[in-house]
Chain A
Amino acid sequence: MNELLRQLTEATGVSGAEKEVRLLIRDLIADHVDEWSVDTMGNLLATRRGTGESDLRVMVDAHMDEVGLLVVEIEGNGMLKFVTVGGFDDRALLGKVVQVGPQKVTGVIGARAVHLLKSNEYSKVVKRDAMRIDIGAKNKDAAAGKVKVGDYAAFVTPYEESSAPGGRTAIGKAFDNRAGCAALIELLRGERYPFDLVAAFTVQEEVGLRGAEVAAYRVRPDAALVLECTPAFDLPNEKDVSPNVALGQGPSIYVMDARTMQDPRLVAHLTRTADAHAIPYQIRQPGGGGTNTGAIQRAAAGIPVATIAVPGRYAHTPTLMISLDDYDNVVRLADAALRGLTADIVRR
C-alpha cells in the first residue's frame, strides 16, 4: 500500500480550506527540508538546499486543493443548500457521502429513491440547485449546532489499491492533485539536487490558479516544473479519437493547453530525459484545460515552466483511478529531469 497516497487522498482540502492537507504535508516533509513557510494565501513553500554545484533556483509546484462543496444556507428542515467549488458534472454528485465542516459531520447528497421517481424523471439530470446535503438533522437549529454557513464539504472515498492483470491501480478521491503532492514529497525525500529546490504546495488551483500566481511571484525561480493529475479518456470507443491520455502509458507531458504554451526547451528536456532513462511517456492531447503552469509562466518577468502529470480517470468526481506504475514513473521522470537540468537549458 502506498501510504503517502493513502494519507494524502483521505485528507480533505477543498479550495480555500486546505489547512488539513497543508499540516499533513508539513509533517511529512519537515525532516527533509531546510526551511519552510506559509504565505498569506496558505501556500506551503519549502526549500531543500542543493549541493551548491548549480546556482539555479528551481520551483516544483503541486496544488493541494481539491474540488468540493460549500454550504450556503441551512434550511428550516435542517437540509444544507450548497454551491460547488471547482468544476463539476451534476451527475457526479447525487447519492455521494460528504463530510461537512471542521468537525467532519457526515452527510449525504440525497437522491430520491427510484421507487418514488415518476417515469419521466428517469431520463432527467437533477440540477445541483435542487440537491441538498442531508446530515440527518431534524430542523435548522439541530443542524446549526453542527455546521455553519460557509463550511466546506469534501467527498469521502477510502483509498484502495488493486492489482489487475493490466497493472497496479489505485482508487480514491482527490488524486487531482494529491498524486502531484505525493510525487513532490518523494522528490524532497531523495538525494539533494545540484540547486536549491523550492517546493510549492499551492492553494486554490481549482478555482483559477490563484495560489501559484503569488507563490511564483515570491519565489521567482529560474525554471519551474508543475506536477499534476490530468484526465484520461481511454474507455472503449468505436471511433479513432484521442484518449487525451491513457492509463498505464506513462507520465503525460503537456505541450499546449488553454492557458499555456509550455516552454519548448523544457518539453524537449523532459522527452530526452525519458528516452535516456527508458521511462515511458505520452504527450497529452493539446488544447483545453489548464494547470498552474498558466499562472507561473507569466509571473514577474516570465518563468520557463513545464508540466508532468499522472493520468487519472474520472477527474472531478468523488472517485478517481490512477495507475501506480504511471505514478512511480512520474516520480522517476521528474527526479531525472531535475538532476539533468542545467543553466544552458533555461537561460538565454
Chain B
Amino acid sequence: MNDLIRSLVEAFGPSGFEDAVRDLIRPLVEPHADEVSVDAMGNLIVRKRAAGENPLKVMIAAHMDEIGVMATHVTAEGFLRFTNIGGVGPHTLLGGRVRFADGTLGVIGADRNDDRSAIHPLSKHFIDVGATSRDDCPVRVGDAAHFERPFVAQGHRLTAKSMDDRIGCVVAIEALRRLPATVPHDLYFVFSVQEEVGTRGAEAAANRILPDVGIALDVTLTGDVPEARSMSVRLGDGPAIKVRDSGMIAHTGLVRLMRQRAEEAGITHQMEVLDGGSTDARPMQVAGPGCAAGCISIPCRYVHTPSETVDARDVEGAVQLLVAVLSNPIEL
C-alpha cells in the first residue's frame, strides 16, 4: 500500500485545485465501479451498484484537497506575500518549502523578528522563489502552492505532508478493491473537493446523491504525545469510530453498527470524541432530508503540518472496518 500512499500524498492538490489528485485516483477506481463521474465542483463520484431490491444509498467521502497557500502580492523585489488555504498555523511556516502548480519551488521566510519567543502572524511571512523583481517572478497573484515534503515510511509509522486526507482516499480506494463483486447497498464513493475550506465539495455531492447513510473517512487528532491535549485516541490502536466532533454528532445506530462489525471481524479499534474540527460527515448529515452520518477516522499526529504521521496498522484496520460495514446489512 505504501506505493499508493506515496503517489497520493506527494501529489499537488490545495483546496480548489484538486485536478492532479483526481487524475491519479480515477484510473485506480474505474475497474471497480459501475459509473464514474465528476460534478460541477470537481468531486469524483464513483458508484458501485447494489445487487438487491430497494437498496440503501450509502455515500462514503474522503477529501482529495490539502491545505496550502496562495500568493496575494508580488513585491517590487520579487518576493511573494501570501494567504492561507485552509487551516495553516504560522508556527509551521518559517523555513518551510512550498511548490506551485507549475513546479516553481519557494522557501518561506519571515520579516525581521527581534523577539525570538514570539511567532509572527502569517501576514509577516513571505515566499522567496528566487526572483529579483516583479517582472522575473514566475508566480502571479492568485497562484496556489502546497507544502513540499517527501513521504517517509519508518516501521509502521508513515509521515508525509497531506495524510489529511489522502490517507482517507487510500482507505476508500483499497476498500473498493477488496469489496465483493456484489454488494447489498448502492455505494457512492465520493473523492471530495474543498473540505479544508469548509466541507464545500461534500455538501454539493450530498445534495446530489441524497444518501441514506453517510460515512466520512478522515484523519483525527491523537492524545498520545508529550503534553498532549486530553484525548483518548492513540496512534497504532486501530481505526477510530467517531462519536462526536465539533460539527457533528454521529448517528448512534451507525456508531453501534460500526462497533459491532469491528468486533465480529476482530478489528482492533477505538472510540473517538474530537473537541475541535469536523469532517465531510457534517454536510452529509444535514443534506436534503438528512441522513445517518458517521466517520471512520485514521489517527494522525501533527495534523496540518508538513509531517502528518499515521500508523500503517490503523490504515489497514480502517480498510477492513469499512469493507465489513459496506458488505453486510446496515440496519439502524
Contact = CB atoms under 8 A, between A and B. Distances in A.
Contacts, number: 81
Interface in A308-348: 346, 348
A261 B197 contact: yes
Interface in B17-42: 17, 37-41
Interface in B248-283: none
Contacts of B76: 240
A115 B328 CA distance: 82
Contacts of B71: 286
Given A261-B200, A264-B16, 12 more contacts: A240-B73, A264-B17, A285-B83, A286-B141, A297-B200, A301-B39, A302-B40, A302-B41, A302-B201, A302-B205, A303-B40, A348-B40
Contacts of B75: 240
19 contacts: A242-B141, A256-B83, A256-B85, A256-B142, A261-B15, A261-B16, A261-B197, A261-B200, A267-B142, A283-B141, A285-B73, A286-B72, A297-B41, A300-B208, A301-B40, A301-B204, A301-B208, A302-B207, A346-B40
A52 interface: no
B72 A301 contact: no
B229 interface: no
Interface of B: 15-17, 37-41, 43, 70-73, 75-77, 81, 83, 85, 140-142, 144, 194, 197, 200-201, 203-205, 207-208
A37 B140 CA distance: 42
A283 B142 CA distance: 7
Main DSSP-derived SS at the A contact region: loop
Which one of A240, A242, A286, A297 has the greatest number of beta carbons of chain B within 10 Å? Answer: A286
A304 B40 contact: yes
A151 B223 CA distance: 54
A285 B74 CA distance: 11
A286 B197 contact: no
A243 to B, nearest CB: 9
A285 B40 contact: no
A309 B77 CA distance: 28
A136 interface: no
Contacts of A240: 73, 75-77
Contacts of B38: 348
B81 A302 contact: no
A255 B208 contact: no
Contact of A242 (B16, B81, B85, B203): B81
A298 interface: yes
A300 B141 CA distance: 31
A241 B73 contact: yes
